[in-house]
Structure 1
Amino acid sequence: MKPEAQAALSESAEQVEARTRAYWPDISKATGLPAEGVRFRPLHVNANVRDRRCVLEARLDDKRRFVLRADYEERRRGPLMKQLQRHRIAAEALRESSKAHVPQVLWEASDTPCALLEFVPGETAVQELQFADWGAVQRELVWERIGAAIGALHAVSRTREKRFWPKPFLQQVSEQAEAVRRDAGNYPHPQRFLGLCALLHRFGKRARGLPYLGALEHGDMHLCNILIAEEKVSFIDFSNFKNDHPQRDLANLWVTAVVNEEQGLRQGAGYGMIAPSEMRAFEAGYGEALIEDPIFRFFHAYRLFRVWGTIARMEKARGPRVKKKRAALVAVLESLQHAEPNLK
């Protein structure tokens, strides 16, 4: 990023932070929290959204802590408000759960997706898995807890029994495959990608019409949006309010973890480069066998397809990290193809 662009981003981020802090007097009046003596500390926000999103830790003199989060993307105001409502409903539904937790919404603005949230102690699942590598905990126990927590979240988010129809997803796959055929030079590993598209059509045919129990998705299920403490596993940053394919949450978690190997998952020799012992532990916690579910297999490959597209848009970023991700994409694809009897 050019220095002048970085400076503009920093100025914009500062303005967004000031706009968010300005809600505190209203929060104080509505909640009875002190109007004075609050100290704010910026929490992590992806660099590409700092001009429209702000997340702050608010610490009071009596050591109480809260999270103040605001989104100012006007064109997505309606969906963002609904995502906040989804967060609030999930938090209430899991209030008494011993397996999963969502921070309570303590205050929210009437006209903007801005809310004061309960502060959740704990480490991200990435960090917890790193602690396991150091011998502090067992990796399989961490994955079992994550599986149980996601299972609890999905259990309180049920919609109805449905049948799976992959046509909308496969239409995207076909359109992207045609675009790559026309301009293969600007796509990483184009022939491999077209093989993934063909595999998705095969998986879609296998899953078409199968029944499944719908559950509202988290929408951005990955290891950094899962916080683990001794007493509870918490979910943050909901990004969905209507899609109800729970298998998509699970696929997002595993593909993201494997492709971003630095996020705490060591590649293994199992399906999708997942370590079999870790998947078994996760399945034990979640309560279902995922690998044998054709709908999970479809969404697992579909998530790989989406990540591949993201990497393609990073064409100018040719650093070692991006190269590592590309190699991981190919390795995962080869694992899926190897699991197909007549593709070995």
Structure 2
Amino acid sequence: MSDFFSSGWGIYIAVVSGVGIIWCLYLLFSQRKTNVTYEADGSVADTGHVWDEDLRELNNPLPRWWMWMFMLSCFFAIGYLVLYPGMGSYQGTLGYTTTGAHEASVTQANQQLKPIYAKYMELDVKQVAADPQAREMGQRLFLNYCAQCHGSDAGGSKGYPNLADQDWLYGGEPDNIKTTLIAGRAGVMPAFKHLEGTQIPDVANYVRSLSGLAADQLKSARGAEVFKTNCAACHGGDGKGNIAMGAPNLTDRVWLYGGSEAAIVETLNKGRNGKMPAHESILTPEKIHLLAAYVWSLSNVKDKAINKASN
């Protein structure tokens, strides 16, 4: 019922379910004593409906076996709705929830897999990354939990970082990657609506010039002062970023939201909010260890040939 905003929906569903079962029982009992009308020759009279010249609709009472099966189905439905959730917000006497069943299943699976993962917990991330079997296990974890945002090849997309290059917002060392997986990240680029006139286009051109992209020299010169006043606190005076804050390096050609002047202007005008969800409650420490090793291997130069062989 979490998808509904009012408790009235729970009452509505409970009423519909209860009235539906009661109506079925009423219909059954009201029809069980239907009298059969016979013709003079002893045959059962029809209802007057005839199809295909001689196909007559009769009005015989329900067979006893069918009636009992129908009644048992209704009683089963009542018993089920007493024991299990189904009557709106009523939880059922057994306290069953699909969430609880899922969590129990995950816990059981994690316990069964723990011995398989245990040997890798004794190794550091770089050692695990050198093991082809461990990397393959990490890749499967990545495809299950990370590929939806970063892509199956970890190449990322607009707003989702490429994990296979050397550019890291929060650092590419094993401990940085583990921290990201465990606690998540929340990257906020504020909107600079207080800038006036040509200041935003000016600083956009300056930022482009930092990475060697084509830029208007006059605008770039004016934008340098705007940058020092408004942007250097996070990105640094040289524009090389700050992994402690997740502020990107603006001097390379890696752009999370696009490096065109229009894209940078949009970023300055509207700001950006990047959210990497925490996986501590989703993945066990063993899985995080393996996943961190796989992600680290993707961007580690000396392991690129190994990764290609394992993919």
Question: Which has more radius of gyration?
Answer: 2
State the TM-score bracket (shorter-chain normalisation): under 0.3
State the structure with bigger RCO (CA 8 A, min sep 6), 1 or 2: 2
TM-score (norm 2): 0.25
